[in-house]
Amino acid sequence: ELRVRGFLQEEKAEVGELVTIETAAGRKVYGKIESVEPTHEHNFGDYIPELAEAGIELTRWLTGGDEDE
């Protein structure tokens, strides 16, 4: 399986057909279309409030303290 971004070289095509795609770098890739313009399926998980607090504390530590001081 390979995901390729580029431009379809045929006039038109449908999922399941064999096609040639030209990438932005000019490379030509031949293969079967599995999907067109798929969405990203990853995420960064649930919100963890402890990490937000740790980020604030780390920033204060790295900058030498509160801005009010």
For residue 44, being part of any structural domain is answered with: no
Q: What is the pLDDT of residue 49?
A: 84
Q: In this predicted model, what pLDDT tens digit does every residue of 26-51 receive, in sequence order?
A: 999 999 999 888 887 888 888 888 88
Looking at residue 20, what DSSP letter applies? Answer: E
For residue 63, being part of any structural domain is answered with: no
For residue 6, being part of any structural domain is answered with: yes
Q: How many domains does the chain have?
A: 1
19 is written with which tokens? 């096609």
Quote the strand ranges of 9-69, DSSP E: 18-22, 28-32
68 confidence band (pLDDT: 50, 70, 90)? low
Q: What is the pLDDT of residue 35?
A: 87
For residue 57, being part of any structural domain is answered with: no
What is the average per-residue pLDDT within 7-34?
94
For residue 58, being part of any structural domain is answered with: no
Closest by CA position to 22, among listed 37, 36, 38, 10: 10
Closest by CA position to 33, among listed 57, 46, 17: 17
For residue 62, being part of any structural domain is answered with: no
For residue 41, being part of any structural domain is answered with: no
Which position has the token pair 């057909």?
Answer: 17
> Taking all residues of the chain, what is their mean pLDDT, rounded to a whole number?
88
Read off the pTM: 0.56
